[in-house]
Amino acid sequence: MKRWIRRTALGAAVLLGLAAVAAWAGTWYADRKAQRRIDLPPYPLAAKNDPAAIERGHYLYASRGCADCHGDNAGGRVVIDDAKTGFFVRGADISPGGAHVVAAYSPADWERSIRHGVRPDGRPLLVMPSEDYNRLTDDDVAALMAYLQQLPPAAGEPALVRMPILVKLLYAAGVIQDAAEKIDHLRAPSQPVPEDVSVAHGSYVANMCLGCHGSQLSGGKIPGAPPDWPAAANLTPGDGSALTRYADAPQFALMMRSGRRPDGSAVSPVMPFASLARMNDTDLAALYLYLKTVPPRPAGGR
């Protein structure tokens, strides 16, 4: 009996020791992965600064999620502050001036950050969902840049990303990927389609939903999200589809702007309603049209 207890105690100690070594190795590897260099040739983005580009940039900044993480003044914002797990994310101050991270950005640097999730020095961005922005056209990236560069400097702070150990281990293991890992960097940029209520334009707008709702739009648990976030909804017409609640485009647009379903219940604020509410009628109607045409998939297939 005594020997049995001793053996179990020894076994538990060995296991604990192994777990500690694995945790240490995993954390070390996660830090190394975050410091890796991704070598991308500079993209010849044609810069713009005409009033139409600045206005388009303002619209994209407000409606595509940038303002949610970087603030209306681009001074940066706390996005996740989870006391339970210690998960903390603050988006960078990306307004012009001072020591801000974009102060010395060239057009190619803007393109690399926004479309590829890669910093000017080649290291990956960790949290920013550039996979949602990889399909932005050249004109739209140039518009974002034009808008941001003419803002007054904000008094914000640099980005801060503190991951709990479990998230680090999942990142090290590749279960959670940074945007640069998910993006096909060799894929040619999208070509512009007319901005109207069409399936093609809806598909263009829907690119910003992929990071949360999955590349096939069928939803499920969002990888790397805090544990209390609900699974993203199935946006395809398949089993468990959320679209069945919306009989027409105006009903859908109302939910996207109010955060409430037709029955009055609230959709989780994980959906970035502060940004989505600022989408114009054309984008929302085109989105609805497009979502009705995607192949049906059961919920959770991502």
Which residue ranges make up the site for ligand HEC (CB under 6 A)? 64-66, 68-70, 79, 89, 91-92, 94, 101-102, 113-114, 119-120, 125-129, 133, 144, 159, 161, 208-209, 212-213, 229-230, 232-233, 235, 242, 245, 261, 267-268, 270-272, 276, 287
| Cα–Cα distance, 118 to 111 (Å, whole number) | 9
| Of 17 and 262, CB closest to ligand HEC | 262
CB 8 → ligand HEC: shortest distance, Å?
43
The CB-of-268 to ligand HEC minimum distance in angstroms stands at 3
The owner of tokens 């999620």 is 65
Residues 74-94: b if buried by 16+ CB within 10 A, e if exposed: bbbbebbeeeebebbbbbbbb
Cα–Cα distance, 202 to 13 (Å, whole number): 56
Which residue lies nearer to ligand HEC by CB, 8 or 268?
268
Q: For ligand HEC, which is the closer residue by CB, 168 or 213? A: 213
Nearest approach, Cβ of 173 to ligand HEC (angstroms)? 19
Asked if 247 contacts 254 with a C-beta cutoff of 8 angstroms, the reply is no
Measured CA to CA in angstroms, residue 279 lies from 29, 91, 141, 184 at distances of 40, 22, 17, 27
When the beta carbons of 101 and 108 are compared against ligand HEC, the nearer one is: 101
Could you tell me the smallest distance in angstroms from the CB atom of residue 154 to ligand HEC?
13
Closest CB to ligand HEC among residues 34, 166: 34
Question: Cβ of residue 84: shortest distance to ligand HEC, in angstroms?
Answer: 18
Q: Which is nearer to ligand HEC, 11 or 244 (CB)?
A: 244
> What's the min distance (Å) between Cβ of 282 and ligand HEC?
13
**Residue whose tokens read 């929302």:** 284
Count CB atoms within 10 A of the CB of residue 172.
21
Closest distance to ligand HEC from the beta carbon of 53 (Å) = 14
Tell me how far apart the alpha carbons of residues 103 and 170 are, in angstroms, rounded to a whole number: 33
> Can you say whether the dihedral through the CA atoms of 266, 272, 275, 276 is positive or negative?
negative
* Cβ atoms of residues 260 and 269 within 8 Å: no
- Half-sphere CA count of 94, side-chain side, radius 13 A: 26
Q: Which is nearer to ligand HEC, 17 or 41 (CB)?
A: 41
Alpha-carbon distance 87 to 165, whole Å?
9
Cβ at position 44, least distance to ligand HEC in Å = 18
Tokens, residue 159: 């980005």
Whose tokens are 């040619």? That residue is 188
Nearer to ligand HEC, 11 or 98 (CB): 98
Token pair listed for 53: 């580009």
Q: How far apart are CA 102 and CA 94, in angstroms?
A: 6
